[in-house]
Structure 1
Amino acid sequence: MTRGRIRARLRRSHFHPFSCMRPRTEDGKGPHPIEGPGYSRVVHCNQPRMHRRKPLKYCSNYISTTKYNIVTFLPKALFEQFRRVANIYFLLAAILSLTPVAPFSAVSMIFPLAFVVGISMAKEALEDWRRFIQDMKVNTRKASVHVADGFGYKTWEKIQVGDVVRVEKDQFFPADLLLLSSSYEDGICYVETMNLDGETNLKPKRALEVTLPLDEDEAFKNFTGTIKCEDPNPSLYTFIGNLEYNHQVYPLDPSQILLRDSKLRNTTFVYGVVIFTGFDSKVMQNSTKSPSKRSRIERKMDKIIYILFSLLLVISLISSIGFAVKIKFQMPDWWYMQPSKPENLYDPNSPVKSGLAHLITALILYGYLIPISLYVSIEVVKVCQAKFIDEDLKMYDEETGNTAEARTSNLNEELGQVDTILSDKTGTLTCNQMDFLKCSIAGTAYGVRSSEVELAAAKQMAMDLEEQDVEISNGSSLKNHARNSWENSSGTRN
């Protein structure tokens, strides 16, 4: 069904010299020699049903950036919690509290540990749930996809390899696409890849000339073709493949590839066929799993825990040695220390056994030297800091309407701490912003502001005039001084 849009009339001219982007066949070169490992991708254009069985069954377009899922949450979250030295110590103390030598009940050791670990795991689950919600917003975006009777809307997660997709201006590409045609007659489109490489300048893409007639919805009713190309890889700037269309083979290169998460700009619409979906797309190939982030404060806390545990061990050893000495030499004479069953822990004939048992008791008894509530306090403070960041009015961007969003609270205390800046000489750290100052149209000047060049020139002229004034004044004073000196010398001679 034709959408009735007026195609932009843009011809090949000196204004658009894209000769470097033309297909290789125009230069007399043939298709790419695609053989061997790494080039096993086969895509049947406009025939997604052929990719439902192996070996042509590829991954879905569903993506997930979460750290956990229902199955892996418990083991992974527990592993993350017991990476902390203090939690390992309290776990060992909780296990020792189950033995007969514990000075108090095991509940008093197990409950605080379970509370601390539970609070931290709940925070991890909440932050991962937010990532899941953001992923769902992306996966449920709508895209215009060709079906049997025309184009209809599908969610991104239901797009398959081989689907023909129509993307409108200022929309993101739902997957890695092969550009077939655009609203321009030359098949040119402009793409913003800021989400991929941080570049704000628009990059031109150009379709093959053989697919330029596919510029309306009805043209895809009987469209078929086969793409043989490289396997999924993380290289954003390379692509090798061939398109078999109308019994001929045409080479493909990166100038015909539209990458996922890039945006269509300055072009009314484009048509493209899906090559890579989901985690096979280049942007997801470059993504990494959510790492376990630990701040400097947590690492420093681990060192402090080591010091406190060493001090605790020294105190417990001194106490145990003194207890063993008392048991061996003074136990029989101290009537108030005589237990009802001396063979258990107070046997004067085995003071070493009694000392070791007392060592476990001392470790548990003096264990409060290591504060278990410290981690809870820090977790609560981090969650509150993340909430304040989300609601900070001074971190609101009026131009884009975006607010600050703390996706994780593990590194709040390290915000704004720059350690190393790596940059090239192209001005990556500059702000590419253009302000209108003045212009001249048909002899009429518009704009009253002065450019920085004019201001610098005026300032320089003012400085030059000041220097000239100083030189003139200095010259006049020298002449007057010379004249006075000559008159004085003349009077002296007379």
Structure 2
Amino acid sequence: FNQFRFFLNMYFLVVAGSQFIDILQVGYRWTYWAPLVFVLLITMCKEAFDDFHRYLRDKEANSQIYERLTSFGYEPIPSSAIKVGDFILVHSNQRIPADMILFRTNIDNEGSIFIRTDQLDGETDWKLRKAIPSLQKLESSSDLMKMDATMIVAAPTDEIYEFTGNFANDSLDEDHVEPLSLDNTLWANTVVASGTVIGCVIYTGKDTRSVMNTVGAPLKVGILDLQVNRLAKILFVLMVLLG
């Protein structure tokens, strides 16, 4: 139906439809419908081609293999199977598959890393992210599976520059609570610039910042099409006035 947003297409549709009224019929009906159907079919094929390529890109992204930390070590998992609460290992130059909280990194004792966010916000500057201090101090990543912890985060939103939450690790102290901020986040479709990180998934699929900020594919319209559409409106008005 997007094609009938163009005045010219709508005009020819109305004219072609009017040929089914005997008093308005001029010539053969197929001479009106054939050109209209031909143009619409070509446009539909082009849009189907674009949709198919988007489908292939989505399928490739959803089939990428990551490593999930379990009680028995790391196991491979496709990005489409990742769920909230999973501990996911992400290597350098690898795309982050879901919105996560940075738990640990192998860069330094401070747990600081850099990520590239150009696919999310268009900015080329690397962003600094920090691991949760108490988890960065653990002897090994396997200790994450032994802890008794609770993480409270805000409801999903499209704000990529805001985040609040709390992390309570009862394994250390019943009153041990660490605040979470934007510095602790790893948004989906950003890329780890260096090092290896382990994050806990907090949002997946449609709840991620990336998807919530995605605008539907716009209808591609050339400048020539816009000019023709504008001229068609002018000619129609002139035809009505002269008639």
Give CA deviations for 1:184-203 in whole Å, capped at 9, x if unaligned. 22222222222233333333
Is residue 2:37 matched to residue 1:109?
no
- Displacement, 1:312? 4.2
Aligned partners of 2:147 and 2:169 also within 8 Å: no
Residue matched to 2:224: 297
1:345-360 equivalence runs, <5 A = none
Aligned partners of 1:215 and 1:271 also within 8 Å: no
- Displacement, 1:223? 3.6
Of the three residues 84, 89, 98, the one matched with 1:175 is: 98
Residue matched to 1:16: none
The 1:300–1:207 alpha-carbon spacing in structure 2 relative to 1, beyond 3 Å, is same
- Displacement, 1:174? 1.0
Is residue 2:18 matched to residue 1:88?
no
- C-alpha separation between the residues in 2 aligned to 1:245 and 1:173? 25
Residue matched to 1:153: 76
The 1:218–1:89 alpha-carbon spacing in structure 2 relative to 1, beyond 3 Å, is same
Aligned partners of 1:150 and 1:221 also within 8 Å: no
- Name the TM-score, length of structure 1 as normaliser: 0.45
Aligned partners of 1:181 and 1:215 also within 8 Å: no
User: Which structure shows the higher strand fraction?
Assistant: 2
The 1:199–1:97 alpha-carbon spacing in structure 2 relative to 1, beyond 3 Å, is closer
Over the matched positions of the two proteins, sequence identity in percent amounts to 28
Residue matched to 2:46: 123
Residue matched to 1:185: 109
- C-alpha separation between the residues in 1 aligned to 2:145 and 2:241? 82
Aligned partners of 1:227 and 1:243 also within 8 Å: yes
The 1:127–1:135 alpha-carbon spacing in structure 2 relative to 1, beyond 3 Å, is same
1:324-473 equivalence runs, <5 A = none
Residue matched to 1:332: none
Residue matched to 1:389: none
Structure 1 unmatched ranges of 5 or more: 1-78, 318-494
- Name the TM-score, length of structure 2 as normaliser: 0.88
Give the RMSD, CA atoms, in angstroms: 2.1
Residue matched to 1:279: 206
- Displacement, 1:214? 4.3
Give CA deviations for 1:443-486 in whole Å, capped at 9, x if unaligned. xxxxxxxxxxxxxxxxxxxxxxxxxxxxxxxxxxxxxxxxxxxx
Aligned partners of 1:168 and 1:270 also within 8 Å: yes
Q: When the two structures are aligned, how many residues end up with a matched partner? A: 237
- C-alpha separation between the residues in 2 aligned to 1:171 and 1:288? 24
- Displacement, 1:85? 1.2
Residue matched to 2:192: 264
Of the three residues 167, 179, 201, the one matched with 1:251 is: 179
SS across alignment from 2:231: helix
SS across alignment from 1:165: strand
- C-alpha separation between the residues in 2 aligned to 1:266 and 1:298? 46
- C-alpha separation between the residues in 1 aligned to 2:147 and 2:54? 39
Aligned partners of 2:104 and 2:141 also within 8 Å: no
Give CA deviations for 1:37-67 in whole Å, capped at 9, x if unaligned. xxxxxxxxxxxxxxxxxxxxxxxxxxxxxxx
The 1:310–1:200 alpha-carbon spacing in structure 2 relative to 1, beyond 3 Å, is closer
Residue matched to 1:422: none
Radius of gyration: which is bigger? Answer: 1
